[in-house]
Copies of this chain bind each other. A is one copy, B any other.
Amino acid sequence: MTLKIYLSGEIHTDWREQITEGAADLDVSFDSPVTDHAASDDCGVAILGEEADKFWHDRKGAQINAIRTRKGIAEADVVVVRFGEQYKQWNAAFDAGYAAALGKSLIILHGPDHAHALKEVDAAALAVAQSPQQVVQILRYVLNGSLPG
């Protein structure tokens, strides 16, 4: 069994690297959005031309990013969505809802402070983890049946 994983959400810490490195020995593949914040914000106008109105500047970029996001989620077996300490992160919650409607196995990753605010998102998940290590342990168990320690 090979698992395809999509890593959605927060882009300001190294949680993706922790997971991909921790899972280096497993039969998994990872996709994720473009995590270069500036490129992600400006890709639309950089390629398709400037917009006077910030709303359409954002629209052009968000739609190009959607090409990658939709493909990544649609092909994934497991979608991991990370909520960090800051920012609205509505795109993360949107991805979680999108993945849930497609019947993907969801793992939500966040600290305990966010538990109440994320209760509807967590309730759609098959696991709620607090650390990237736990996500790696889940993947290892799902693939190999081996538990930590």
Contacts and interface: CB of A to CB of B under 8 A. Distances in A.
Interface of A: 1, 3, 31, 34-36, 39, 42-44, 46-48, 51-56, 58-72, 77-78, 83, 87-103, 105, 114-129, 134, 137-138, 141-143, 145-149
- By DSSP majority rule, is chain A's interface helix, strand, loop, or mixed? helix
Each complex incorporates copies of this chain amounting to 8
A103 to B, nearest CB: 7
A82 B95 CA distance: 17
A51 B70 CA distance: 29
Contacts of A43: 141, 147
Contact of A101 (B52, B101, B123): B101
Contacts of A103: 70, 103
B124 A94 contact: yes
